[in-house]
A and B are shown apart, each in its own frame.
Chain A
Amino acid sequence: MVAVEVEKLEKDYGKVKALKGISFTIEEGEIFGLIGPNGAGKSTTLRILATLLTPTGGRAEVFGHDVVEEAEEVRKLISYLPEEAGAYKRLTGLEYLEFMAKLYAKDNKKAEKMLELGIKLSGLGERLRDKVSTYSKGMTRRLLLARALMVKPKLAILDEPTSGLDIMNAFEIRKTIKEFVKEGVTFLISSHNMLEVEYLCDRVALIHKGRIVEIGEPEELKAKYNAENLEEVFMEAIKNV
């Protein structure tokens, strides 16, 4: 089943054209990477799919639901982790996860199960009883990722999931993503770390100046451009743009 279908998607911020008619699809159970430099349009695409922004043109669907017309339905299926996300500083990590679980699960039993999973995923142990304001950046990011995944969304939209994290935290997060795919979660990940995406994603779209310049499996793209990694693929692909 198609999890995400994006067709000729455009987004203007005043005179600035952030997206210039991009199209791609993501299959259910796939890890799809959107890669490109800062300002390429990755976050804008993710924010449109997360129902935060309205496209200027084109359309986008999540599991058959239009992100503009059926935004509330889409929100029931997705979990979005923004790049610069934070948590409520005056709540403890546990209270934060509990708050989110209660909003996703409509009954107490489900909420408790989600919370249990969130506690496990965060790996923060006893520190969950401390206020979020006392957490390091890595701890906060792990809490937020636990929040995003504990609800077992049909589509997880993660914007730069490992941005600013140390090697160990980044490794743990990548491992968690791989595990969740096995449970049927579809991932849309944006990153400017092309090596990470190469390791993590089944397919990638290279985005540059609001346009998708290449799309395919990492191995396939490397072979096409006779490149050693996606970085080289990207540099070659944008030459013709």
Chain B
Amino acid sequence: MSDFMVILMKELKDMFRDRGVIIGLIIVPLVLYPALGQMVQIGMEQAQKETKVVIANFDSGNYADILIKTLKIAPNVTVVEIKAKSIDEALRIATSKGYNVLVVVPSNFSECIEENEKAMVEVYGIFTGISLGMKESVSEGRINAVINVLNEELAKLKLKSNYPNPEAVLHPINVKSYSVLKGRVINLPPSVVSGVIASQAFSIPLVVFIMFTMVSQMAASTMASEKENKTLETLLTLPVSRTAIVAGKMVGSAILGLIAALAYMFGMSRYFSSLGMNSNIKLEDLGLKITPYGMVLFAVIIFLAITFAISLSMLLGTFAEDTKSAGTLVSTVMMPLLFPTFTFMIVDVETLPTVVKYILYAIPFSHPIIASRAMILGEYSKMYMSIAYLALVSLGTLYATAWFFRTEKILTAKIRFKKRARGS
């Protein structure tokens, strides 16, 4: 077995036995996010199950009966009529019997409609707890939908006598929406297309952020733990090239970082799918296609960005005295580099002022996001530029890390984080 493999195997064994790492980086995202999603899903399912509506009808006219009949035939709605003398009494009955919604039909409801005035219906959502009010909001939505239908039906009924096609009077314009993407007309409304693009814009920066945070923390702590456990001096006097030590540690960190990132991505995708964020529209429906060549280019970009993150973090880790201060140091340096990537979620970088745009382009972590979009749109020239830039930056950082390992600075370099004095 080569020295590199011996070191790599030791690194993996050492890291995978760290309960904190396993629980925090792998178990928690694999269990916590899906569990959270499951809870939200259960809440939403409950909300969709049944809406118990109680109606207090104070009107003796025909239109109140039509309203109640329409509500009764609406799906997933249980309607119960109650006799009450006042709204307060109706609310008391509804609350005591566990109904979610109270619909109050005032005494002048039918009269207003007959006299071509606007009639009023009062809807009360009854909150029984503080569980985000999902049940109530869904219920109110259903009542509103029924009332909208009723509005239309009543309007049509009235218009019928004077107009042969009341629908054309009510909705004189029909809208058929299309989207144009990369010069191609797609038979989908812009809202749907922007939804798909938004989900891409949201998920990729998030995944990039999580992945690089994980990998960086791993790499820094592997170096810092050598100092903390006082094993570094021994390691550096072994008959092993420093390159093998650096490479073994880097690959070990990358493997664990990637596993952790996958765990987070899996956990989060389960969470988001529970929230119904996954669209049924696929990229192919928008005329976009990810080619194997595009994927290869994207993988190269991810590899280079990870190389940069790991070598920089290992370098930072050598300045820390223990794993805790390594975490602080990495966060202090990496966060300002990672946070701007969120800009890609909300704005089109091309529209930003030139200086801001080039600052964003100078941050290596921007390139996986730029590349993910370029890959989808088939803009390979952008990917080539990202590869060239990342190769340059990664090699530079790698060289600096390797150089640092060959000098005594690896033992003597220190950045102290002063503890805040108590009472000061």
Contact = CB atoms under 8 A, between A and B. Distances in A.
Contacts of B173: none
Contact of A90 (B14, B408, B411): B14
Contacts of B412: 13
B237 interface: yes
A85 B228 CA distance: 10
Contacts of A103: 3, 6-7, 238-240
Given A86-B231, A87-B231, A95-B13, A50 B408 contact: no
Contacts of B236: 51-52
A80 B240 CA distance: 14
Contacts of B3: 103
Contacts of A102: 1, 6
B229 A86 contact: yes
Given A91-B13, A91-B17, 15 more contacts: A50-B237, A52-B237, A53-B411, A81-B234, A82-B234, A85-B231, A85-B233, A88-B229, A89-B229, A91-B10, A102-B6, A103-B238, A103-B239, A103-B240, A104-B239
Interface of A: 13, 47, 50-54, 72, 75-76, 78-82, 84-91, 95, 99-100, 102-104, 144, 147
B18 interface: yes
Nearest to B18: A90
A51 B239 contact: no
Contacts of A91: 10, 13-14, 17
Contacts of B13: 90-91, 95
Contacts of A104: 238-239
A65 B237 CA distance: 15
Given A53-B411, A95-B13, A75 B229 contact: no
Contacts of B238: 75, 100, 103-104
Contacts of B14: 88, 90-91
Interface in B374-424: 407-408, 411-412
Interface of B: 1, 3, 6-7, 10, 13-14, 17-18, 229-231, 233-234, 236-241, 407-408, 411-412
B246 to A, nearest CB: 15
Contact of B241 (A13, A47, A72): A72
A190 B1 CA distance: 35
Q: Which of A53, A75, A90, A147 has the most CB of B within 10 A?
A: A90
Contacts of B230: 82, 84-86
A82 B240 contact: no
B123 to A, nearest CB: 61
Contacts of A47: 233
B52 to A, nearest CB: 57
Contacts of A54: 407-408
Nearest to B233: A82
Q: Which of B3, B14, B411 has the most CB of A within 10 A?
A: B14
A17 to B, nearest CB: 16
Contacts of B240: 75, 103
Given A90-B13, A91-B14, A95-B13, A52 B239 contact: no
B274 to A, nearest CB: 36
Given A54-B408, A95-B13, A103-B240, A80 B18 contact: no
Given A91-B13, A103-B238, A80 B6 contact: no
A154 B55 CA distance: 96
A16 to B, nearest CB: 12
Nearest to A49: B237
In the A-B complex, the 5 residue pairs with the closest CB atoms: A86-B230, A90-B17, A80-B237, A86-B229, A76-B239
A211 to B, nearest CB: 22
A51 to B, nearest CB: 6
B16 to A, nearest CB: 9
Contacts of B233: 47, 50, 52, 80, 82, 85
B382 to A, nearest CB: 43
A99 B6 contact: yes
B408 A52 contact: yes
Contacts of B408: 52-54
Nearest to A100: B238
8 contacts: A50-B233, A52-B408, A52-B411, A86-B231, A90-B13, A90-B18, A102-B1, A104-B239
